[in-house]
Structure 1
Amino acid sequence: MKKFINLVLTVGGVTAALFGGTFVMDQLTAVHADTADATTVSATTDDTTAPATDDSAAQASDDTAQPAEPAKPATPKVDTKKYYIKPKAATMVLAKGATEYHDTAFADKVKKLAKGTQISITGVEYSKSGTPRFKLSNGDYVTTAKASWRAKLVKNVTNYYTVKPATKVKVKKNTKLYKDTAFKNKKKSVKKNTTLKVKGIAWSKGGTPRLKVTGGYISAKKSISKKPAKAVKANYKASTLQTRFIKKYANDVYSVTKKYGLYGSVQMAQAGLESAWGTSGLTKKGHNFFGVKGTYKGKSVTMRTAEYTASGRLYYTNAKFRKYPNAKASFTDNAKKLKDGPGFSKTYYAGTWRSNAKTYKKAAHALVGRYATDPHYDDKLLSLISKYNLHSLLD
């Protein structure tokens, strides 16, 4: 019997560098293309000349001993009154402060987590001593101790503020002020655009968060209130290109970054730096504040750009850049990129997320080497954040 082994090797193109610096000539902004092709290897066996065989010769005897299956590791015994052995929901909320670690042994500390922090959990793993740990979406770990988590939670808790959002909020639509967290005793109606002073977060017995404000409680739904734009505009006395830019886009940046769990101060600094405070040709023609290549819902603008090869050689070319219908669409697209990753990894930009970056400074540092090729990109952003007080205004 002859056997022929055909080895089929299919190799797709492989991008030489994940990121390359691309600069719009009047904008000087980094642009990134995230692409990768697959390499496939397969083997086939051809028995075209194999003769028929006798069943007794071709098959093993029924009496042939089968190899024993490997023993499954025993699940550690856990005090389920004290620890969770599986997450109650994909997103849970801390009832008190906790610590995030890189390892299940809790030896490599990452950062402190504040009371009320919403945590995205993917599962449970055990330490060598058999203690369960929650595994986070970023690969780190936190305690599963029941005392550390809110036992009752409203559905879709991500739609609520569970940490004090600001010292003041502006009501986005008519709502009600109550005397109690159960919302049984109405105190008065609150009209749209009313500004209220926030004292903190309170919870109903059923696990619904409330905003504790002067005089009582209102809903903590993000759709009900927001940080007032007045606080941003009132900060600047002098009218300059930069302050006008910040005032114009503050609400968009604030709402987008809150929705996606990012730092508004960082995105505002990025938008100002990369668009030359809205004066670049790309921003004027396509509402493109971040130099993103390609098309947006089929729309694009062509710009002359300066690019660099992997060896650092400068050359010029025409390229298509995304054309957005408005500024908010550009801010949203940027936020989605940081939250969803470049395709090959959803957590590639996880260092910029508020859930992972304890401060806006750490979020800015996390952009270097991944989002931006400029080694001083973070320093430039932090300088703008400090100069225009963006952290207190937008975070």
Structure 2
Amino acid sequence: MSRTTRRWMLGPMLAMSATAVFVGGSVSAAEASSVTTTVAGPLNVRVAATTKSAAAGSLKNGAKVTLVCKVAGEKIRGRVRTTNQWDRMSNGRYVSHGYVRGANSLPTCPAPAPAAPTSLGAVAGGPNGSMTPAQFVAASVVPAQQGQREFRVPASVTIAQAILESGWGRSGLTANDRNFFGIKCFNGSPGTIANGCHSYATYECLPACKPTTATFRTYASAVDSFRDHGYFLWANSRYVPAFAYTGNADQFLFQIWKAGYATSPTYVTNVTALMKQYNLYQYDLR
């Protein structure tokens, strides 16, 4: 979702938001296209695509590196260029492409493999629109916590957003296509986790509202929708500042709203109210 756009689904009049820094993930598929080059250092190697992540070593000017794929991350003004591209090394660490000589044709890193579930039975279903609020929350805990382990998005934020965005699972988008967060397809692509795209009639408010259509992602399961929500926030450089607050759910929520996740002036208030009313903070991993 753009910073200035808010779409509203027809049927249940429910606000739709769409709008993820990259850490980890399998590189086996990218190894075949790895590139060895040098860096214009000195520079730090990071565990994620942001200078806010921990340093995992340093490289001197002219040091050789083997790169396997690229991700979007924090924008850096380096010695070679200014860019938000970060390059994943063969050891799984990251360097800013702003310091890398050449290597301009790296493939995009794939989504990380799913973390091992703590309860296969609980993960398999996920929430749905026929559940009571208590049941919906209970069914959301495992996939939300999986997302926190994998992408560091606080579980309380994920659950509350799922409630608000999907209308407790009863919006047309959620009931038909298991999209709990209103994430759109971009350039006709559903990304690496969703299984397709589906066009819906919506209203676009900029700020005046008018009818239009938008294409949203479809999912094989609620669990896939929850996972894509975490990946979407994690892989989108716009939300890098929020990941400095993964231990503070309220501040994390404020930061993604500030970055343009939603334009409603009451969005943070509405989501926070759900987090408090249902004590969703208790599900955040420490």
Q: Please classify the TM superposition score into its range, dividing by the shorter chain length.
A: 0.5 to 0.7
What is the match of residue 278 of structure 2? 388
Which has more radius of gyration?
A: 1
Counterpart secondary structure, 1:22: strand
Please tell me whether residue 28 in structure 1 is matched to residue 10 in structure 2: no
Deviation at 1:385, TM superposition (A): 0.9
- TM-score computed with the length of structure 1 as normaliser: 0.43
2:196 aligns with one of 299, 311, 314: 299
Helix, strand or coil at the partner of 2:282: helix
Decide whether aligned partners of structure 1 residues 392 and 138 sit closer, same or farther in structure 2, where only a CA change above 3 A counts: farther
Residue correspondence of structure 1 range 151-300 to structure 2 within 5 A:
223=116, 226=118, 241-294=132-185, 295-296=189-190, 299-300=196-197
- Residues 1:124 and 1:138: Cα distance change in structure 2 (over 3 Å): farther
- Residue type matched to 1:91 in 2? V
5+ long unaligned stretches in structure 2 = 21-41, 60-72, 77-90, 94-114, 123-130
- Distance apart, 1:335 and its partner CA: 1.1
Q: Does 1:378 align with 2:260?
A: no
- Deviation, structure 1 residue 229: 9.8
The 1:32–1:394 alpha-carbon spacing in structure 2 relative to 1, beyond 3 Å, is: closer
The C-alpha deviation readout for 1:77-106, integer Å capped at 9, x for no partner, is xxxxxxxx976x6439xxxxxxxx99xxxx
Q: Name the counterpart of 1:181.
A: none
- CA distance in 2 between partners of 1:27 and 1:253 (Å): 25
In the TM superposition, residue 382 of structure 1 has moved relative to its aligned partner by: 1.2
Matching residue's letter, 2:277: K
Partner of residue 216, structure 1: none
1:337 counterpart (223, 232, 246)? 232
CA contact (8 A) 1:286 1:324 kept: yes
Is the 8 Å Cα contact of residues 257 and 267 (structure 2) preserved in structure 1? yes
Q: After superposition, what is the alpha-carbon deviation per residue over 1:310-363, rounded to whole angstroms, capped at 9, x for unaligned?
A: xx111112332211111111111111111111xxxx2x112332x444411100
Secondary structure of the residue aligned to 2:15 is coil
**Kept in 1: contact 2:152–2:246 (CA 8 A):** no
Contact 1:257–1:263 (8 Å) recurs in 2: yes
Structure 2 length as normaliser, TM-score? Answer: 0.58
SS in 2 for 1:282: helix
Relative contact order, CA 8 A, sep 6+: which one is greater? 2
- Deviation per CA, 1:28-68: give whole Å up to 9, x if none: 2233479xxxxxxxxxxxxxxxxxxxxxxxxxxxxxxxxxx
Which aligned pairs between 1:102-121 and structure 2 lie closer than 5 A? 119-121=53-55
What residue in structure 1 maps to residue 24 of structure 2? none
- Cα distance in 2 for residues equivalent to 1:18 and 1:27: 20
Q: Of 365, 368, 380, which aligns to 2:257?
A: 368
1:251 is displaced (CA, Å) by 1.0
CA distance, structure 2, for counterparts of residue 229 and residue 378 of structure 1? 32
Q: Which runs of 5+ in 1 are unaligned?
A: 1-16, 35-84, 93-100, 103-118, 126-136, 141-154, 158-221, 231-239
Shift of 1:21: 0.8
Q: SS where residue 288 of structure 1 aligns? A: coil
Shift in Å at residue 380 of structure 1? 1.1
Partners of 2:18 and 2:181 within 8 A in 1:
no
Residues 257 and 335, structure 1, Cα contact 8 Å, conserved in 2: yes
CA distance in 2, matches of 1:278, 1:381: 15
Gap change, CA 1:328 and 1:120, over 3 Å in 2: farther
Structure 2 vs 1, CA of residues 350 and 90 (structure 1 numbering), >3 Å: closer, same or farther?
closer
Partner AA of 1:28 in structure 2: L
Decide whether aligned partners of structure 1 residues 301 and 29 sit closer, same or farther in structure 2, where only a CA change above 3 A counts: same
After superposition, the Cα gap between the structure-2 partners of 1:262 and 1:227, relative to the gap in structure 1 and judged at 3 Å, is farther
CA distance in 2, matches of 1:265, 1:243: 14
CA contact (8 A) 2:19 2:232 kept: no
Confirm or deny: 8 A CA contact 2:147 2:226 kept in the other structure. Answer: yes
CA distance in 2, matches of 1:283, 1:32: 14
Aligned partner of 2:208 in structure 1 is 313
Q: Describe the superposition over 1:166-196 as per-residue Cα deviations: whole angstroms up to 9, x where unpaired.
A: xxxxxxxxxxxxxxxxxxxxxxxxxxxxxxx
- 1:271–1:33: structure 2 CA closer, same or farther, 3 Å change rule? closer
Count of residues paired in the alignment: 198
- CA offsets, 1:270-298, max 9 Å, x none? 00100001011110100001112225366
